[in-house]
Amino acid sequence: MNVASVSLDLDNLWAYLKTHGDPEWERMPSFLATATPRLLEVFGEHGLTTTVFVVGADAERDDGAAAVAAITAAGHEVANHSFGHEPWLHRYSRTELEAEVVRTEEAITAAGAPRPVGFRGPGYSVTPDLLDVLSERGYRYDASTLPTWIGPLARFYHNRSAKSTKDSSELFGGFSKVFAPNRPYRWDSGLVELPVTTMPLLRVPIHGSYLLQLHQLSPALARGHFRAALRLCRVFGVPPSLLLHPTDVLSAGEAPGMEFFPGMAVPARDKAALLGWVLGALRRHYEVVGTGAHVARLDGDLRGTRRLERSG
């Protein structure tokens, strides 16, 4: 059976509010104590071992460290999602990028997880300097690219309701990302890139929050969208890598201040049902693993692929 992967960006409430320009983020509000056990329960019901990308600032706090311990005890991979979860890493110096990576590694290992070998930049931000830092520190893969054309539309949607957001002019990237590969590949450093899969041909997202936005319009539309994406992935030989977030199982009342976020009008019970259906649909066609295991399974096939030069 072909392989697919599921990963979770364990973004916390404060991180969403910070990106949205809400000063309430400075109180560092958290929903990890609610979201983590609920997500682990869904994964357990489907017998899935996934990858969870953890923010270093959360791993340093008590509820975040408890989440890392629970995730590790359940057999999931813990990977690096930067320290401060700022989706403008492209503005960081090389020294700042290295500090983000290293400090998060230290927080994750202090919480009891193995040293991470995978990275995802918040807001799908990745730069040549970041790739160099990851390679030098022994990372095996990056998973920061989203090959789609909707970045500017998502940025417009975000900025329309945001109070103020630093560096929002480049948030979520530009239309050029439609030309990025939708299959795994290697950078010229040898680091594997595992893109967040978008629908082949149309290059529209298929990750959890996008499906929930469609679900608000029509549950049948959301399921039909995902079925079509899986069918096209099989036709074009794209191994799916599905991205989830804590908001995929939380109600609006459990994430106060996040009414702006896609899918937050959907009740938590309906969200969990949709997520269960999505995971079941994925498992019918693929062996589902975490991103690290996905890269390991694809490693032999990628040895002959063309390596891509890094662009600024």
Q: Is 239 left (phi over 0), alpha (psi -120 to 50) or beta?
A: beta
- Please tell me the distance from the alpha carbon of residue 229 to that of residue 91, in angstroms, as a whole number: 33
**What is the residue whose two structure tokens read 């070998």?**
117
**pLDDT for 43 beyond 60:** yes
Helix, strand, or coil (residue 241): strand
Q: Quick check: 110 and 65 in contact, CB under 8 A?
A: yes
CATH no. of 3-304: 3.20.20.370
pLDDT of residue 311: 45
Between 228 and 20, whose confidence is greater?
A: 228
151-160, 228-237, 257-266, range with the lowest pLDDT:
151-160
Interval 27-46 mean pLDDT: 97
**pLDDT for 2 beyond 70:** yes
pLDDT tens-digit map of 106-118: 999 999 999 999 9
Interval 74-100 mean pLDDT: 96
Helices (H), the chain: 13-19, 32-45, 56-59, 62-73, 94-110, 128-136, 151-161, 208-217, 219-236, 268-285, 291-302
Other Cβ atoms less than 10 A from the Cβ of 156: the count is 12
The pTM of this model reads: 0.93
Four-residue CA torsion sign, 205, 257, 80, 90: positive
- Among 64, 8, 13, 10, residue whose Cα is nearest residue 278: 8
Name residue 226's amino acid: F
Interval 278-305 mean pLDDT: 88
* Per-residue confidence band for 169, with pLDDT thresholds at 50, 70 and 90: low
**pLDDT for 172 beyond 80:** no
Helix-helix angle 62-73:32-45, to 10 degrees: 10
Q: Is 127 left (phi over 0), alpha (psi -120 to 50) or beta?
A: beta
pLDDT of residue 179: 84
pLDDT of residue 306: 47
- Please tell me the distance from the alpha carbon of residue 21 to that of residue 128, in angstroms, as a whole number: 28
**pLDDT for 275 beyond 70:** yes
Using a pLDDT cut of 90, give the percent of the chain over it.
79
* Per-residue confidence band for 152, with pLDDT thresholds at 50, 70 and 90: low
